């Protein structure tokens, strides 16, 4: 089944939003397939955001991501990449709808609380980068109550 990489950024951890955010993905019906609290170094953050290295906000973005621990997760489910991005909301919290994570919990684009993969392919790449160890293999016993 489809997987996505979701990361609660240092502001989300500092502000005590970890449980709230995990709860939103859990209650939707997605399956948690990887989870760790980790502080990353500059070269790792630069690798994660390599596609944005030419952007003027790149250095600030890297500083932000390495400023404290983050919660790295793998979530699984039908259309989890697209639906995960909807749960997260628009990149700029000023444009994120209420009810989304960024719409409910963030103000500035450079403190937008959470990352989610933007495609199945980048999800694959990001999961490989953040979870080089083999992920825990488990299947939810409620699957037939979520999927028809």
| Binding site per annotation, positions for ATP | 9, 57, 85, 91, 102, 112
Window contacting ligand YYY (CB under 6 A); options: 22-30, 33-41, 69-77, 111-119: 111-119
Structure tokens at 91: 């990149």
Name which of 52, 102, 73 is nearest 5 in CA terms: 73
**Count of residues of this chain found to bind ligand YYY when the rule CB under 6 A is applied:** 9
By annotation, the residues acting in catalysis are: 115
Task: For residue 84, report the phi and psi dihedrals to the nearest 5 degrees.
Answer: -60, -40
Taking CB under 5 A as the rule, which mask of x and - marks residues 99-138 in contact with Mg ion?
-------------------x--------------------
> What does the alpha-carbon distance between residue 14 and residue 94 come to, in Å, rounded to a whole number?
21
> What does the alpha-carbon distance between residue 21 and residue 19 come to, in Å, rounded to a whole number?
6
**Count of residues of this chain found to bind Mg ion when the rule CB under 5 A is applied:** 1
Q: Which residue is nearest to ligand YYY (CB)?
A: 91
> What does the alpha-carbon distance between residue 115 and residue 79 come to, in Å, rounded to a whole number?
17
Q: Is 2 helix (H, G, I), strand (E, B) or coil?
A: coil
CB of 45 to Mg ion, least distance (A): 13
Structure tokens at 56: 């003027």
The burial of 144, by beta-carbon neighbours within 10 Å (0-12 exposed, 13-18 middle, 19 or more buried), is given as exposed
Chosen residue from 115, 123, 127, 131 binding ligand YYY by CB under 6 A:
115
Within residues 35-94, the interface with ligand YYY by CB under 6 A covers 52, 57, 61, 91
Residues binding Mg ion (CB under 5 A): 118
Residues binding ligand YYY (CB under 6 A): 52, 57, 61, 91, 109-110, 112, 115, 118
């Amino acid at each position: 089944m489809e997987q996505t990489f979701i990361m609660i950024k240092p502001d989300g951890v500092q502000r005590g939003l970890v449980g709230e955010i995990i709860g939103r993905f859990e209650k939707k019906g997605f399956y948690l397939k990887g989870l760790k609290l980790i502080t990353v170094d500059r070269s790792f953050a630069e690798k994660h955001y390599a596609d944005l290295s030419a952007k003027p906000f790149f250095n600030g973005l890297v500083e932000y991501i390495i400023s404290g621990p983050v919660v790295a997760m793998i979530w699984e489910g039908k259309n989890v990449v697209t639906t995960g991005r909807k749960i997260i909301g628009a990149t700029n919290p000023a444009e994120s709808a209420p009810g989304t994570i960024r719409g409910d919990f963030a103000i500035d684009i450079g403190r937008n609380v959470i990352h989610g993969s933007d495609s199945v392919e980048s999800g694959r790449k990001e999961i490989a980068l953040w979870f080089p160890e083999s992920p825990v293999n488990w299947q939810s016993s409620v699957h037939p109550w979520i999927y028809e």
